[in-house]
Structures are given as C-alpha cells and as structure tokens.
C-alpha cells in the first residue's frame, strides 16, 4: 500500500473533472484519479452542442435559457442554480473557445448556434438557436480541449486508478473529507490518497439498463461510494431516456439532427410529434418525445418487422448539410444498421441516457449530508452530482454546460477550501474496506484460477468455477429487469417486480466470484466491483420511483399520470447507514425564485 | 421520402446466429514466458461487433481475458486491436465485415509493450503526443469574446480534430515498429490540428520539434496509418502538409 498526499484529489477525468482540474491545479497541489485514460471519458460521446445565450445568430438572453431549463425540468429544478448555470454559460463557452475549442462558425466568424430540444425564444414562443456546437462531436471537442489544456498546465493524472472508497474524518464530530482509496489497475496495488478536498466527477450509471447510450464504464462508482458512507443521494428515480437511440442498439443519435430539421415519423410516415407538441413538435423535451414514441409503438404505429421502433427522417435535408453538420451520426447509422440517413429513414427508439439525480450539492458544489449541512472538503460536479439544475428532465446540451459551469466552480471552491484547511487525520486502517472488498471478490471462488491453465486448453475454462455466480449473468439479469420494468413508463406492478428482481440479484451477488485471480490488469475484478455499485443504484432508482406516486419529467407512472405538486414537488433524498439494509427516504424542498409551476405544454 | 419508406419497411430476413471461432493472442507476463494463441467459439449475429464477441467470451467463458473498452461505438478510442492482421476498433468492426468462416484472429496492437492479452502500455504513445505541444498557443491576454475564425479557416484543420487517440495509426506504422522513438502518425496529427489553426501562434516551435531526427522525415508514406484510422482521417496527407510547412518555415 502506498500513501500519497495532495491538497485536492479529483475523482474522474471527464469534462467536469478536467474542468475542475484546470482551476484547482492553478491554486493548489492537485491530483486527478481516473479509471480510464482521460480521453476515453464519456463526455467525448456527447454530440449536439452546449447552450449559451450568446445571441450570435438571433435574439436571445440567459433569462429565457433559465426559464427553459426550469420548465424542461418540470419544475423540480432548483431555480437559483438554473439561473447561475444559464448566466455563467456565456463565459463557459467563451472560455472553451479561448482554450482552443474549434466551434463551427457563422459567416462572420463568430461561434455558430443551432436549435435544440426545449430551448425557446421568449418563454416558449418558438425554438431558438442557442446550442454552440462543433459538428456532431461537441463533446469530443470539449474533452480534447480540456485534456490539451491539462497537458499545457501540467496537471497530474493517475490513469487507470480506480477509486473505491471515500475517507471521512469524524474525530471532531461531524464528517469532513480526508481522502480516497484507489486500486491501481495495472498492478493491483492499493493507494491511499490523503487530501484536504475531494471532488467527485465520476459520471453516470447508465449501465443499470440494457439499452443505453452509456459507455460500458458508466457504473455510478462515485455515487455508490458516497452513498455507502451513509450520505444521501438525491432524485435517483429521475432518469432520462433519449428519444433517438439506434433501434436495438441504443447508440446515440444527437437531438441536433432534429435541430437541423430532422423529423420523427411513424410507420405511415406521419409526423406524429405534431399531435403531442403542436408548437415545437420534434424539438419538444426528451421525456415528452420518448413517451410519444412509445405511445406510437404501443398503438400499433411502430415501424419495422416487429413494429417496435419509429423513424428519424433526414432525407429532405441537403446531403451537404448532413455531411457537414451531422457526420458522426451518419456514420453510426451506416456502420451499425447499414442505413444511409441521406437517402433512408433511420430506425430509432429511446435509449437510457442520463441521470438527473446524484450526489446532492449546493451551488458551490459542496456535498450535502442532509438538507442543510455540508461535508467540509467534499465536492461533486457533473452527472454524478445533483445541484439540481436538471430537475425531473434535463434539456439537451445542458449536461455539457453543467460540467463546465459546475466543474469550474468545484475546482475553485475545492482549492480555496484546501488553502485554508489542514489535512484531516486518516482513519487507523484506511485501506481496510477496499482490501476486504477486493479479497472477498478475488478469493471467494471455489474453483481454481483459470489464468493458471497455461497455453490453449480449449473453450471451457470457466467450467472450473462451476457452482458460483457469474458477474456477467447477474449484470444481464439486472439490465433486463430494468429495461422491462423501470424504463420510460412505470407502474406499481412493474416497479415491484424490478425491486424483487434486484433484491434477488443482490443476494446472488454475495455469492459471486471472479475467475481472474491475478494482480495485473484485473478487469474481471473491476467489472465485479462495478456490478456491486450498479445493483445499489438500480435499487435506489426503483425505490424512489415506487415512492413517487405522480408523473413528472422523466418519471412517468401509468398509475399516477399527472404531476402532483401538492404532494411531490420536492426532491427525494435517499439514505442508508453503513451496515444497514433499510433505505430511508426523505424530501428536500425545491428552491423556487421567480417561476411558479405551470402546466407543461410545448 | 416514399421510396425510402418502402425500402426501409420491407421486412428483412431474420438474421441468423452463427458459431465463430476467435483466435486470441494471450499473454500474462506474470504467468507466461511468451504470448500464445487460444481459441474460443462463440455464437454471434452477423451484426454483432467484435467487441460484443470479446465481451461474451469474457463473461461466459474466461473472465481473465483482458482488453480495454468503454463507449462501444467508436468514439473513445479504447479498443484498438489487430483484428485479422489489421488495426481496427473492436467496437466498430462487425462480424459480417470479416470472413467468419475462418477463425478471426485478435491480437494487441504492435509496437507498444504488451501488458496483458490485448492491453498495451499506452504511456509512450501519450508521451509523444504531449511532446508536440498539442494545445492552443497565443500571446497576450485572452479576449473577452470569442476569437474570430472564418468558416474556411476552420475547415483547414477540421480533419485532424477528429482524432480519438486510439493509436491504430501509430501502431500500424512500420517505421514506429522498428524505431519506438519516432513521434508516429498520431502525434503529427495532433500537431497538425494546431499548426493549421488560424488562432494559434505556436507553429514555429512545433515545426522545429517535428523537424528533428525522430520527426516527420521518418515518414515513408506507406499509408498504413491512413488505412488504419477508424475516423477516416487523411493522416498521410496531414503529415505531407506538415512536411511542406517545415520546408516553408
């Protein structure tokens, strides 16, 4: 075991983590721990754009952006946070441009902007051009630009270091951050990082679902680590399903395709969104479009041999526009479905995409341990956090904005705190929890190691570990029940089924073992740990969804079809004390500043 | 649109699963003295990705099989490997694009130290990238608004902004195989992206770096890199443009 000491430790090297690192490393001794190489982070998969009311191509202002964000989030957004995000969006885009990001340009050479779902002029009058973009690879450009600037600033990375535990010091009563424990993938060695400030920027947990736009590595690690310390998670039942995943695969096709003029059609070719959102049609927020697509399929208007998807139609757009503005998604459709969007309709269906909930923070990204109090020295930003700027449904492009605005705030706040604080003492045996977890999974096997089997012994090496539970089997069963029972539409019955399945899988997980017993690059172990995190978060999602007997934003209950502001206009806070099985649900008031809840029509 | 609808709604014949043999070059330095081939049989659909097959093998047959992967659709650059002798991304290579009647060979990319199975040490690769100063270099204070750049100026370096740093190009280059000190195609692509950016003022320094012994002049224009690039970047062309810029600088 090695011990390291830093002022600030950042967990995760996607957009939020690296944006934080650029601020923090200027002010304090900073390390970034990441289970992937930074450029592999899923920020790079974001496509369509990042909204900011630059008004480069038409009239716009950040107050409209604030309103759209709140309405898009079905009034579960904390309005002061949304205001901060919309206001600081403008500087966030300019910062990125100044750092070198190659945005698409207007004929005058300014940053070009395009339309996106739910972003409107003057409180819903019509779609507005607000999304700054670089073709359909805006996330890729953001990730590259931030990484390039981290190189410029000589930011210290620990690549393929998998953080598995948060260290808290409670010697002075209330908990404060003391550091983290990480597992070095290359060697199997355990490292303790003592730090004054810890920032979690570890992303989402889309892999609880089978059909998802998320990377294999998006397993909610940071959220689960914090939750295991008895700290709350907020609004976990709110999960976004992006309307246009490639049918059957879930690979994302940007909403920017509809921003460029793309149209959703059912089997008969009808532009069905006209019926669901007469004003902004295909550019309605994602939750509404996803539900509309499911509705079409359920009522027999789906396309394809099994009538189980709808079409994204780009065929009326000029080929040059598609090639220039949407090159990557065009290639995805060609590669994975053999369909050419220039001349053919693309089969699409909703795909699990984004967690609105996560680690609760205040507007300075400080992590809350209840509705009022923070954990000094602990911060969270990006998808793993819940500020909450997305409420019950995030608007397209607001995630790239979130990581930049709140990533920057986290970096500044964590460094400033560290510069005025002392290192908290480490617990007596800081690595014990991680050592025990690793040992249990690695050594819990009944069968001998398969890696010792030597040269080519055939295809049944796994049989040696017979009688134990396989990680891949449990993961598959979890993903199937979540897709079946806790997806776009939910009922008491389906959620109860999902919960029963998850409980059973959690029990099977205690008997799970891995085949790879080695120290070196043990990705078998990594996947087993990730599954443990996912099972906890799947349970939380379902319990929150069961408890919320209303429909709001991304949470649609068929047995409670309307929004119920009287009983449910509040955030869910879920807690579980270490070692206990019972999950306690509490509520937190939504912060309302100037927008009273209204009916959500588009 | 009507023809497109007819085309797309014609029910396609249901795809058939087939049993495919994968021949994977295994190596764990803690246990093996040398790399060795191991065969696995797996039932896949023609539209499955090679990555899907590897995931099935790892999940159902041998958990110790080790490879990197993340996004699963060709954006993150984690899973470059040598498939049937050619560098490709496992998540962008479909079974139907390979001859599945014969065993499909999978091995680690060449020229970087093999750490375990399909995992190589990426550090030398990223080091070369860092050395070309891959970031915007400007003088004076940042403006309070965006820098102006015309559509045409932006277009000049568009191709090289697509790079996902998967290393498929660099590890397909015979010069890199024989001389690990060579910057390699990816680092030159990374430099190109800034050398030709109208906002950047660091071209002279980068060109000096690439005019060194291990710089652009090692390129023998074999086009392996261009063929290997999963993003379709015209890498050899970019290297030629950098060479010309060195001469004109």
Reported as a single tens digit per residue, the pLDDT across B110-127 is: 999 999 999 999 999 999
Q: How far apart, in whole angstroms, are the C-alpha atoms of residue B190 and residue B167?
A: 12
Instruction: Specify the pTM.
Output: 0.95
Domain boundaries, chain B: 18-120, 123-138+151-248
Indicate if the pLDDT at residue A332 is higher than 80: yes
What mean pLDDT comes out for the span A558-586? 96
User: Does residue A283 contact residue A127 with C-beta atoms inside 8 Å?
Assistant: yes
| B34 phi/psi in degrees, rounded to 5 | -150, 155
Residues 143-182 of A with CB under 8 A from B: 144, 148-149, 151-152
Provide the pLDDT for residue A581: 87
Tell whether A216 lies on the interface with B, counting CB pairs under 8 A. yes
Provide the pLDDT for residue B14: 66
Residues 116-155 of B with CB under 8 A from A: 116-117, 119, 122, 126, 130, 133-136, 142-151, 153-154
Residues belonging to chain B: 249
Provide the pLDDT for residue B190: 98
Residues belonging to chain A: 602
Choose among B141, B135, B125, B134: nearest CA to B185: B125
Distant-in-sequence, close-in-space partners of A344: CB < 8 Å, separation ≥ 6 = A315, B4, B7, B8
Helix (H, G, I), strand (E, B) or coil at A212: strand
Among B36, B61, B162, whose Cβ lies nearest the Cβ of A461? B61
Provide the pLDDT for residue A442: 85
User: Does residue A349 contact residue A488 with C-beta atoms inside 8 Å?
Assistant: no
Indicate if the pLDDT at residue B4 is higher than 60: no
Among A45, A148, A519, whose Cβ lies nearest the Cβ of B75? A45
- For strands A570-575 and A584-589, give the pairing: antiparallel
Residues 172-201 of B with CB under 8 A from A: 194, 197, 199-200
Of residues B56 and A466, more confidently modeled: B56
- What is the per-residue pLDDT across A44-101, written as a single tens digit (0 to 9) for each? 999 999 999 999 999 999 999 999 999 999 999 999 999 999 999 999 999 999 999 9
Choose among A24, A359, A8: nearest CA to A177: A8
Are residues B4 and A345, on separate chains, in Cβ contact within 8 Å?
Answer: yes
User: Does residue B89 contact residue A336 with C-beta atoms inside 8 Å?
Assistant: no
The CATH class for the domain spanning B123-138+151-248 reads mainly alpha
Tell whether A320 lies on the interface with B, counting CB pairs under 8 A. no
User: Does residue A372 contact residue A232 with C-beta atoms inside 8 Å?
Assistant: no
Provide the pLDDT for residue B13: 61
Distant-in-sequence, close-in-space partners of A15: CB < 8 Å, separation ≥ 6 = A41, A43, A139, A142, A143, A146, A382, A400, A403, A404, A407
What mean pLDDT comes out for the span A210-222? 98
User: Which pLDDT band, with edges at 50, 70 and 90, does A443 fall under?
Assistant: confident
Indicate if the pLDDT at residue B191 is higher than 50: yes
Q: How far apart, in whole angstroms, are the C-alpha atoms of residue A28 and residue A148?
A: 20
Q: How far apart, in whole angstroms, are the C-alpha atoms of residue A272 and residue A297?
A: 11
Among B9, B150, B161, whose Cβ lies nearest the Cβ of A267? B9
Distant-in-sequence, close-in-space partners of A254: CB < 8 Å, separation ≥ 6 = A47, A48, A136, A244, A326, A329
What mean pLDDT comes out for the span A475-487? 98
Note whether ipTM > 0.90 here.
yes
User: Which pLDDT band, with edges at 50, 70 and 90, does B54 fall under?
Assistant: very high
Q: How far apart, in whole angstroms, are the C-alpha atoms of residue B82 and residue B104?
A: 10
Rounded to a whole number of angstroms, the CA Rg of chain B reads 21
- What is the per-residue pLDDT across A11-42, written as a single tens digit (0 to 9) for each? 999 999 999 999 999 999 999 999 999 999 99
Indicate if the pLDDT at residue A339 is higher than 50: yes
Q: How far is A383 from chain B (nearest CA, A)?
A: 16
Indicate if the pLDDT at residue A351 is higher than 50: yes
Distant-in-sequence, close-in-space partners of B80: CB < 8 Å, separation ≥ 6 = B87, B88, B89, B90, B109, B166, B167, B168, B171, B230
What mean pLDDT comes out for the span A308-312? 98
Q: How far apart, in whole angstroms, are the C-alpha atoms of residue B47 and residue B93?
A: 9
Q: How far apart, in whole angstroms, are the C-alpha atoms of residue A311 and residue A282?
A: 12
Helix (H, G, I), strand (E, B) or coil at A404: helix
Provide the pLDDT for residue A495: 98
Q: Is the dihedral of CA B85, A215, A201, A532 positive or negative?
A: negative
Q: Is B237 exposed, middle or buried (0-12, 13-18, 19+ CB in 10 A)?
A: middle
- What is the per-residue pLDDT across A489-547, written as a single tens digit (0 to 9) for each? 999 999 999 999 999 999 999 999 899 999 999 999 999 999 999 999 999 999 999 99
Provide the pLDDT for residue A457: 39
Indicate if the pLDDT at residue A601 is higher than 60: yes
Structure tokens belonging to residue B92: 């962008």
Q: Which residues of A354-376 are buried (b: 16+ CB within 10 A; e: fewer)?
A: bbbbbbbbebbbbbbbeeeebbb
Find, in chain B, the residue whose alpha carbon is nearest to that of A314.
B1
Indicate if the pLDDT at residue B242 is higher than 50: yes
- What is the per-residue pLDDT across A104-158, written as a single tens digit (0 to 9) for each? 999 999 999 999 999 999 999 999 999 999 999 999 999 999 999 999 999 999 9
User: Does residue A573 contact residue A587 with C-beta atoms inside 8 Å?
Assistant: yes
Q: Whole-number mean pLDDT of chain A? A: 95
pLDDT over 90, % of chain A: 94
Q: How far apart, in whole angstroms, are the C-alpha atoms of residue A51 and residue A287?
A: 19
Residues 399-418 of A with CB under 8 A from B: none
User: Does residue A522 contact residue A188 with C-beta atoms inside 8 Å?
Assistant: yes
Indicate if the pLDDT at residue A551 is higher than 60: yes
Provide the pLDDT for residue A118: 96
Provide the pLDDT for residue A566: 97
Spot the catalytic one: A137, A286, A442, A576.
Answer: A286
DSSP code per residue over B176-212:
HHH-TTS-HHHHHHHHHHHHT-TT---HHHHHHHHTS
- For strands B86-89 and A190-200, give the pairing: unpaired
| A119 phi/psi in degrees, rounded to 5 | -95, 120
Provide the pLDDT for residue A579: 85
Provide the pLDDT for residue A467: 44
Indicate if the pLDDT at residue A460 is higher than 50: no
- Output DSSP code: residue A428: S
- What residues are paired with A132 via a beta bridge? A50, A113
Q: Is B17 exposed, middle or buried (0-12, 13-18, 19+ CB in 10 A)?
A: exposed
Q: How far apart, in whole angstroms, are the C-alpha atoms of residue A118 and residue A396?
A: 8
Indicate if the pLDDT at residue A449 is higher than 90: no
Indicate if the pLDDT at residue B7 is higher than 60: no
Note if A286 is an active site residue: yes
Chosen CATH of B18-120 out of 3.10.20.30, 3.30.200.20, 2.60.40.2220, 3.40.50.720: 3.10.20.30
Q: How far apart, in whole angstroms, are the C-alpha atoms of residue A289 and residue A299?
A: 15
Structure tokens belonging to residue A190: 């355990």
What mean pLDDT comes out for the span B50-73? 98
| B69 phi/psi in degrees, rounded to 5 | -165, 155
pLDDT over 70, % of chain A: 96
Are residues A524 and B63, on separate chains, in Cβ contact within 8 Å?
Answer: yes
What mean pLDDT comes out for the span A158-171? 97
């Amino acid at each position: 075991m090695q011990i390291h000491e830093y002022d600030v430790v950042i967990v995760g090297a996607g957009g939020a983590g690296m944006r934080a690192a650029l601020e923090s490393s200027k002010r304090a001794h900073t390390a970034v721990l990441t289970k992937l190489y930074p450029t592999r982070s899923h920020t790079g998969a974001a496509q369509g754009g990042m909204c900011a009311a630059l008004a480069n191509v038409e009239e716009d202002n950040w107050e409209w952006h604030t309103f759209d964000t709140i309405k898009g989030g079905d009034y579960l957004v904390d309005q002061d946070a949304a205001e901060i995000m919309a206001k600081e969006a403008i500087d966030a885009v300019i910062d990125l441009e100044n750092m070198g990001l190659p945005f698409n340009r207007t004929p005058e050479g300014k940053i070009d902007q395009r339309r996106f779902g739910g972003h409107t002029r003057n409180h819903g009058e019509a779609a507005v051009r607000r999304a700054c973009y670089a073709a359909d690879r805006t996330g890729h450009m953001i990730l590259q630009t931030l990484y390039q600037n981290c190189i410029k600033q000589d930011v210290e990375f620990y690549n393929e270091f998998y953080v598995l535990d948060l260290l808290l010091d409670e010697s002075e009563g209330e908990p404060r951050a003391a550091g983290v424990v990480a597992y070095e993938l290359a060697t199997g060695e355990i490292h303790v990082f003592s730090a004054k400030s810890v920032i979690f920027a570890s992303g989402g947990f889309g892999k609880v679902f089978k059909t998802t736009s998320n990377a294999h590595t998006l397993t909610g690690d940071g959220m689960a680590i914090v939750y295991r310390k008895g700290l709350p998670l907020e609004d976990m039942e709110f999960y976004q399903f992006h309307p246009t995943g490639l049918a059957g695969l879930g690979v994302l096709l940007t909403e920017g395709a509809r921003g460029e003029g793309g149209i959703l059609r059912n089997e008969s070719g009808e532009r069905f969104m006209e019926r669901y959102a007469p004003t902004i049609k295909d550019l309605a927020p994602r939750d509404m479009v996803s539900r509309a697509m499911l509705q079409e399929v359920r009522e027999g208007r789906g396309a394809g041999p099994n009538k189980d998807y709808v079409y994204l139609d780009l065929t009326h757009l000029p080929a040059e526009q598609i090639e220039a503005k949407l090159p990557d998604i065009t290639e995805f459709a060609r590669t994975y479905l053999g369909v050419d969007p220039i001349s053919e309709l693309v089969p699409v269906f909703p795909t699990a995409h984004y967690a609105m909930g996560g680690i609760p923070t205040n507007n300075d990204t400080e992590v809350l341990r209840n509705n009022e109090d923070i954990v000094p020295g602990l911060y969270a930003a990006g998808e793993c956090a819940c500020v909450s700027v997305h409420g019950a449904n995030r608007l397209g492009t607001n995630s790239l904005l979130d990581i930049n605005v709140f990533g920057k705030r986290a970096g500044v706040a964590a460094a400033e705190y560290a510069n005025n604080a002392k290192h908290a003492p480490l617990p007596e045996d800081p690595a014990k929890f991680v050592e025990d977890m690793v040992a249990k999974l690695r050594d819990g096997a009944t069968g001998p190691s398969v890696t010792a089997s030597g040269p080519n012994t055939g295809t049944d090496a796994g049989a040696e570990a017979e009688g134990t539970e396989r990680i891949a089997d449990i993961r598959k069963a979890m993903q199937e029940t979540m897709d079946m029972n806790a997806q776009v539409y939910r009922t008491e019955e389906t959620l109860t089924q999902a919960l029963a399945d998850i409980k059973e899988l959690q029990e099977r997980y205690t008997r799970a073992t891995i085949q790879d017993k080695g120290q070196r690059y043990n990705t078998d172990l990594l996947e087993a740990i990730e599954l443990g995190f996912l099972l906890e978060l799947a349970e939380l999602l379902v319990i929150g969804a069961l408890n919320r007997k209303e429909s709001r934003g991304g949470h649609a209950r068929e047995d409670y079809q309307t929004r119920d502001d009287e009983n449910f206009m509040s955030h869910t806070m879920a807690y579980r004390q270490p070692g206990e099985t019972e999950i306690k649900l509490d509520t937190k008031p939504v912060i309302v500043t100037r927008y009273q809840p209204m009916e959500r029509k588009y | 649109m009507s023809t497109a609808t007819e085309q797309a709604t014609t029910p396609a014949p249901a795809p058939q699963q087939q049993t495919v043999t994968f021949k994977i070059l295994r190596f764990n330095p803690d246990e093996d003295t040398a790399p060795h081939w191991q065969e696995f049989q797996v039932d896949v659909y023609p539209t499955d990705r090679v990555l899907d097959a590897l995931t099935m093998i790892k999940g159902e047959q041998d958990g110790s099989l080790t490879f990197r992967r993340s996004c699963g659709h060709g954006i993150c650059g984690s899973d470059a490997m040598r498939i049937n002798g050619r560098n490709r991304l496992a998540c962008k290579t479909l079974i139907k694009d390979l001859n599945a009647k014969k065993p499909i060979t999978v091995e680690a990319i060449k020229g970087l130290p093999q750490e375990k199975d399909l995992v190589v040490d990426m550090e030398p690769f990223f080091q070369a990238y860092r050395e070309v100063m891959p970031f915007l270099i400007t003088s004076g204070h940042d403006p309070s608004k965006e820098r102006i750049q015309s559509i045409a100026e932006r277009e000049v370096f568009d191709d090289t902004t697509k790079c996902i740093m998967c290393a498929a190009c660099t590890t397909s280059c015979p010069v890199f195989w024989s001389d690990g000190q060579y910057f390699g195609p990816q680092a030159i692509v990374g430099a190109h992206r800034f050398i030709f950016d109208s906002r950047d003022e660091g071209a002279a320094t980068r060109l000096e770096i690439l005019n060194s012994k291990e710089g652009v002049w090692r390129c023998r224009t074999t086009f392996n890199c261009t063929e290997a690039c999963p993003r379709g970047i015209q890498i050899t062309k970019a290297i030629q443009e950098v060479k010309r810029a060195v001469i004109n600088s």
